[in-house]
Structure 1
């Protein structure tokens, strides 16, 4: 056990969101409150994080000196939704989940055959209008598998059938796509997709197969969507900005194929947690820390690949720092967690003994678990 009784403890608190319950900012605040309640002399530094999914803009707005522009957009079913563009230092930041997010739909509404990324296109168009020369799009948590077709339609390049009519929204319609009805209006901006996955667009590890089930896709839907995305990739290859071998590029399958659309528009992908880590000054905070606390709603096998917790734990291990994980539930094995640098993991489900309470009383649970850990780690 690490002995910190004789020093002023510097605790770095840098969680991701707890999906469906707390934002990253709220989670960090609750953990800090619990730790300070048990150890009033602790020096707590908060660096809430995101990997490109829901909460991406909130985390950046808390860390950077910039301004937020409200934007009217639509959700995955075309209903009115509120979105934002955050600008700082000549760069505009977007969050695809504000328009395409799975959290915007009820369970019964989830159907990637018909959901659209059109709303993200409206956000991207608004970002271009701010005059930014660089646009970073957070990719994650999407309800769509349309390969960014809706987004391109909003930018003036609607997917067309061979007969010349514009296709309806959704991934299934792309089975009949033949061409694009225009050129995307982007005014030469640099595009970056911030993502936490490196999946290709097609195949067993592609957008439909890996992420389709959580979006409501059946096995038959997955086969249909994968074939439709293959046809769509052929159309995207007609863009002069599209790189060769688009469908197999890492990150092309991010956010239901939005990664492929951004790559086809001449953009590139970047690690979401890597970008946030740099912009929030996480490395400097790690260098000054004695102990690191991170967390997320579900710490499981997916957390071990490119997610916030993995990024934080690895960076902590590089510095020889203990890294504690507080999560809604813990599904990752102890050895797997230790391999990426996690010293100890605690869950709210374990604390409450009930998953419903863990969801409804997440902030309370984080304060209690953090207080208990503070006493344990400072004996």
Structure 2
């Protein structure tokens, strides 16, 4: 039996590569004769560059940029052919912003990363969006590219309060005509009830009672930069980084589609008898550009069954099938929370071994 193993990261515990290896280890214990094809995935968030480098090869360039609270942070640019790939979470991820004021976290370093990527001479820069600890509407990114105003653009949404003048004139010339692609895992707008602040602000550390004020600041900022763009799908990705990239003329595409094409997911699914995906928490939000939904969609197109292994499964069987997944299996439910977090790789391997008893021939 041929099994394609294509999980995302298990956030906070395992990278996508480690998750794929753990699933393969457990599966192989029960079914050592099965052919296992390991295909770690990403949706634009943490791990985006590493997964693409593992599949595409290319050259990794080390670049130091300003982190969300000013400290220098190391990042990498993947250059492959005429394209460069960068990961916004490396410059402004939640792991970098956790110890500071969420309302002052900036995306300035992502702008620096874009400039460095464009300077490599490529024709296209693909920006992975996801896992950010910022909520500044991409103002910091624009500031790094030369935008100016009568309030600081590189001090998070707090800095944007009172902004009444904005000049984006120098910004579009700084990238030298390089085509931009925003590879995002969500399609929300910048502001409003379903916008960046309301949807993800709390998990980034913005107090619930501050959300209306922060959203109002971003709405005023968008009024100066381009209100119509703020309503486009993906404008709210990565706390509004999607908005800044759309202002720069970027094309938006689901990050999982970028990775799927790079790793040849469709062909590998066609050659498999079963597709196994997974992530830390498998819930209905997985439908919004997340890896399990993307992998299941490809498996369905190739008429192959898809199952999911996750830290937690938070959807019922009906919702699961709506996502294209035949069955979902939870590490926490079957092995307990203590085991799941104490030994994540071992617990996922044990779960995979149990699942193989049901699915391997």
**TM category, shorter:** over 0.9
User: What is the CA–CA distance in structure 1 between the aligned matches of 2:339 and 2:58, rounded to whole Å?
Assistant: 37
Q: Offset at 1:182?
A: 5.6
Higher helix share: 2
Q: CA deviation at 1:155?
A: 1.7
Among 37, 41, 59, the alignment partner of 2:33 is: 41
Runs of 4+ in 1 over 3 A off after TM superposition: 165-168
1:369 equivalenced with 2:351 (yes/no): yes
**1:179 maps onto 2:166 in alignment:** yes
Gaps of 5+ in 2: none
SS of equivalent to 2:324: coil
What residue in structure 2 maps to residue 341 of structure 1? Answer: 324
CA positional deviation for 1:319: 3.1
Could you say what secondary structure the match of 1:113 adopts?
helix
- Aligned counterparts, 1:252-331, within 5 A: 252-331=235-314
From the superposition, tell whether residues 219 and 312 of structure 1 become closer, same or farther in structure 2 (CA, over 3 Å): same
The reply to whether residue 148 of structure 1 matches residue 138 of structure 2 is: yes
Q: Secondary structure at the match of 2:103?
A: coil
Question: CA offsets per residue over residues 235-280 of structure 1, 9 Å max, x none?
Answer: 223xxxxxx7111111111111111100111112111111111111
Q: Counterpart of 1:228?
A: 217
User: How many angstroms apart in 2 are the aligned matches of 1:286 and 1:20?
Assistant: 28
> RMSD of aligned C-alpha atoms?
1.6
Q: Is the 8 A contact 2:270 2:304 kept in 1?
A: no
| C-alpha distance 216-98 of structure 1, shift in aligned 2 (>3 A) | same
Aligned residues: 358
Q: Which residue of 1 aligns with 2:54?
A: 62
Q: String of CA shifts for 1:16-73, please: whole Å, max 9, x gaps.
A: 0000111101111111121122211111111111110111011100110211000101
3-state DSSP of counterpart to 1:171: helix
2:25 and 2:349 in contact (8 A); partners too: yes
Q: Does 1:112 align with 2:98?
A: no
Paired position in structure 2 for 1:190: 179
Distance, in Å, in 1 between the alignment partners of 2:12 and 2:153 is 33
Give, in angstroms, the shift of residue 168 of structure 1: 5.2
Aligned with 1:360 (options 331, 342, 352)? 342
Q: What is the CA–CA distance in structure 2 between the aligned matches of 1:207 and 1:261, rounded to whole Å? A: 13
- Whole-Å Cα distance in 1 between the matches of residues 305 and 169 of structure 2? 54
- Deviation for aligned residue 1:372: 1.7
Secondary structure of 2:3's aligned partner: strand
Cα distance in structure 2, aligned partners of 1:348 and 1:188: 47
**Matches of 2:181 and 2:168, distance apart in 1:** 24
Shift in alpha-carbon separation, 1:143–1:81, aligned structure 2, 3 A: same
- Pairwise CA distance, 1:110: 5.4
Cα shift at 1:167: 4.6
Determine if the alignment matches structure 1 residue 209 to structure 2 residue 195: no
For the residues of structure 2 that align with 1:352 and 1:77, how far apart are their CA atoms? 39
TM-score normalised over the length of structure 1: 0.91
The within-5 A match list for 1:238-257 is 245-257=228-240
For the residue of structure 2 that corresponds to 1:69, the secondary structure is strand
Aligned to 1:241: none
